[in-house]
Amino acid sequence: MLTLKLDDIPIEGLELEWKEEPEVLSGYMERLSDIDFRFETPLQSEAKIRKVGQSILIKGGVQTVLQLRCVRCLREFSYPLASRFELTLHPLMGMDLGEEAELTGKELEMDFFEGGEIHLSEIACEQVFLEIPIQPLCQEGCKGLCPTCGKDLNLSNCHCIKEEFETGFSALKKLKLH
């Protein structure tokens, strides 16, 4: 896991590229999230980092291939991911954390760092989290599983008898428009 000391950032800034293997990331990601995914390829990251006053400006990108599970048919599939990001980290010092306080909209969008270092691997992993779809699909037109027999409808049709589900609105089908 890559960590950068703030003192190591020269005035003109710093450009970094690094790669992290799936085995290293999988244990780290499992501790952070319940999202069901795996890295198929190493996480390749790049970042341009510079100091702007007390803050740190990071412009970068991440690239990898994830293995996700389709929410309709439950098959695992490869999901190529490439993302660009821009992040400004503000120092946490000077903020009163003792009492509860209401944050402004601007403060909710801010990212912070603490101590004399920033954890670049954590930032890269966070960008991966942000790019994972809420409902991953193996393909746009995935037909899913038959609710009766459980057959994958993408592979073949099943021969289950589909029952019409009656709702209170079923009576509207009988109405005719003039």
pTM of the model: 0.76
51 within a domain of the structure (yes/no): yes
What pLDDT is recorded for position 77?
A: 96
Quote the domain boundaries for residue 52. Answer: 3-93+105-131
- As given in the structure block, the two tokens for residue 111 are 């990212």
Compute the distance between CA of residue 58 and CA of residue 89 in angstroms, rounded to an integer: 8
Q: Give the model confidence (pLDDT) of 9-41 as tens digits.
A: 999 999 999 999 988 887 666 666 666 789 999
25 within a domain of the structure (yes/no): yes
109 within a domain of the structure (yes/no): yes
Compute the distance between CA of residue 173 and CA of residue 94 in angstroms, rounded to an integer: 65
What pLDDT is recorded for position 37?
A: 87
Q: Calculate the average pLDDT of the chain.
A: 85
Q: What is the mean pLDDT of residues 93-104?
A: 63
- Is 35:62 a contact under the CB 8 Å cutoff? no
Q: Give the model confidence (pLDDT) of 83-97 as tens digits.
A: 999 999 988 765 555
**How many structural domains does the chain have?**
1
What pLDDT is recorded for position 160?
A: 87
What are the distances in angstroms from CA 76 to CA 70, 79, 82, 156, 168?
A: 6, 10, 19, 18, 38
